[in-house]
Amino acid sequence: MMVTSYTLARVKPTKDVIVYDIVKALPSVKEVITTYGEYDLIIKIEVDSLAALDDFVFNKLRIIEGIDSTTTLISANFPTTK
């Protein structure tokens, strides 16, 4: 089962470009978008399981110097009806 999530990240001032480049190079990251407002980055992540997502967010993403905080949204796929 593939798990897709979107992590919203707050980045310390002046660290935006450095953090963007580090995040973009991480395995499991499919897309990184720079934004204005409450969050600085939207990071699309694809992993094999919820345990792998947990490991990725806590042990790879949140340890990056310059990331202040994250909020992760897990994509929900609802069955379609006709």
pLDDT by 10s per residue, the chain, length 82: 799 999 999 999 999 999 999 999 999 999 999 999 999 999 999 999 999 999 999 999 999 999 999 999 999 877 677 6
Residue 14 phi, psi (nearest 5)? 70, 0
Contact 3, 49 (CB under 8 A): yes
Residues sharing a CB contact under 8 Å with residue 62, sequence separation 6 or more, in sequence order: 70
Contact 24, 18 (CB under 8 A): no
Q: What is the pTM of this model?
A: 0.90
Q: Which domains does the chain have, with CATH numbers?
A: 3-74 (3.30.70.920)
Closest CA to 29 of 10, 42, 43, 9: 43
